[in-house]
Structure 1
Amino acid sequence: MAQMELTNLLDTVQETETKMIEMSALNHLMSTHVLQQAQQIQYLYDQAVEATNNVERGNKELSQAIQRNSSSRTFLLLFFFVLTFSVLFLDWYKN
Structure 2
Amino acid sequence: MIQINSINNSDFPALFNAADEASLSAQQKYLLLVKSDLAILVVSALMSSWSPNGADPLAIPSAILITVGIFITYLLSSSKHERVGLMLVQWLSLSKALHGVI
Q: TM-score, normalised by structure 1?
A: 0.42
Larger radius of gyration: 1
> Which structure: greater helix fraction?
1
TM, length-normalised to structure 2: 0.39
